């Protein structure tokens, strides 16, 4: 396979898998050898086994970290601080893309970023949506309310009012309190239900302060 053929097949893809190049009358061993050479030459970036992106000079569209995270671990979704920052609910910059999966915890560091995957029981993998990141890139991201509950779940004493207040949550008016309660109720976990009550209190407090200004 020639590099021009790779560009024709994968040039419009932010990331691509080896399988994309193996369709049709090609020699799989030759394709894999060429990919290895292009990685060594800096023309292709390997994200994990079987997953690649073109090097910057050849990219049509830079891959969004959330899309990369979804592709690194199929069946996962972006959550925790990464999702909270995306929705503008916390003021801090989050340099790591954090996701949840029912698979084993994992972490990948590559030229596109630092990607961490934490385990969540399969019956708790709900409350996420597909969001449009760019005109041609989508990814599964936790709903803002679920991102908060996921963080509560994975943080010792995460339902503590002092911990929640210390997060310096902002733009709380964007939260859907009914959805927050419904998500906590679906999980059926007392910790989630307690956290939902405390988060709702923070929302009410912020709204009252806004109304008095």
Q: What total number of domains does the chain contain? A: 2
Q: Are residue 91 and residue 193 in the same domain, yes or no?
A: yes
> Which sign does the torsion angle of CA 55, 57, 58, 62 carry?
positive
Q: Are residue 106 and residue 13 in the same domain, yes or no?
A: no
Q: Are residue 76 and residue 176 in the same domain, yes or no?
A: yes
How far apart are alpha carbons 1 and 144 in whole angstroms? 44
Question: Are β-strands 16-17 and 128-134 bridged in parallel, bridged antiparallel, or unpaired?
Answer: unpaired
Q: Are residue 36 and residue 133 in the same domain, yes or no?
A: no
Mean of the per-residue pLDDT values of the chain: 93
Give residue-wise pLDDT tens across range 178-201.
Answer: 999 999 999 999 999 999 999 999
Q: Are residue 71 and residue 165 in the same domain, yes or no?
A: yes
Given pLDDT bands bounded at 50, 70 and 90, which one contains residue 60?
confident
CA distances from 190 to 149, 183, 184 (A): 12, 12, 8
The alpha carbon of residue 204 and the mean position of all alpha carbons in its chain are separated, in whole angstroms, by 29
How far apart are alpha carbons 124 and 77 in whole angstroms? 12
Does pLDDT of 213 surpass 70?
no
Q: Are residue 37 and residue 130 in the same domain, yes or no?
A: no
Q: How far apart are the first and last CA of the chain?
A: 65
Mean pLDDT to the nearest integer, 97-119: 97
Q: What count of Cα atoms within 13 Å lies in the side-chain half-sphere of residue 148?
A: 36
Q: Are residue 35 and residue 124 in the same domain, yes or no?
A: no
The CA-based diameter of the chain, rounded to the nearest angstrom, is 70
Q: Is 186 exposed, middle or buried (0-12, 13-18, 19+ CB in 10 A)?
A: middle
Give residue-wise pLDDT tens across range 144-170.
Answer: 999 999 999 999 999 999 999 999 999
Q: Which of 11, 26, 58 is the last residue in one of the domains? A: 58
pLDDT number for residue 212:
57
Q: Are residue 69 and residue 54 in the same domain, yes or no?
A: no
Tokens encoding 113 = 């970023």
Beta bridge partners of 98: 116
For residue 28, give its domain range. Answer: 3-58
Q: Are residue 39 and residue 122 in the same domain, yes or no?
A: no
Mean pLDDT to the nearest integer, 1-14: 87
How far apart are alpha carbons 184 and 40 in whole angstroms? 48
Give residue-wise pLDDT tens across range 23-49.
Answer: 777 888 988 999 999 999 999 999 999
Q: Are residue 133 and residue 202 in the same domain, yes or no?
A: yes
The alpha carbon of residue 160 and the mean position of all alpha carbons in its chain are separated, in whole angstroms, by 26
Q: Are residue 94 and residue 183 in the same domain, yes or no?
A: yes
Q: Are 199 and 147 in contact (CB under 8 A)?
A: no
Q: Are residue 125 and residue 169 in the same domain, yes or no?
A: yes
CATH assignment of the domain containing 16: 1.10.10
């Amino acid at each position: 396979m020639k590099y021009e053929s790779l560009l024709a097949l994968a040039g419009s893809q932010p990331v691509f898998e080896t399988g994309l190049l193996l369709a049709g009358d090609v020699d799989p061993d030759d394709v894999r050898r060429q990919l290895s050479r292009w990685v060594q030459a800096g023309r292709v970036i390997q994200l994990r086994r079987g997953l690649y992106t073109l090097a910057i000079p050849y990219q049509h569209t830079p891959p969004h970290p959330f899309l990369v995270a979804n592709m690194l671990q199929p069946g996962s979704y972006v959550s925790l601080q990464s999702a909270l920052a995306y929705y503008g609910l916390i003021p801090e910059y989050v340099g790591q893309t954090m996701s949840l999966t029912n698979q084993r915890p994992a972490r990948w560091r590559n030229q596109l970023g630092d990607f961490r995957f934490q385990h969540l029981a399969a019956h708790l993998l709900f409350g996420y949506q597909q969001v449009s990141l760019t005109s041609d890139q989508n990814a599964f991201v936790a709903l803002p309310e679920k991102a908060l509950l996921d963080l509560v779940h994975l943080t010792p004493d995460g339902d503590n009012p002092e911990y929640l207040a210390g997060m310096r949550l902002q733009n709380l008016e964007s939260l859907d309190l009914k959805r927050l309660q419904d998500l906590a109720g679906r999980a059926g976990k007392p910790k989630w239900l307690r956290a939902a009550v405390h988060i709702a209190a923070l929302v009410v407090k912020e709204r009252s302060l806004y109304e008095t200004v």
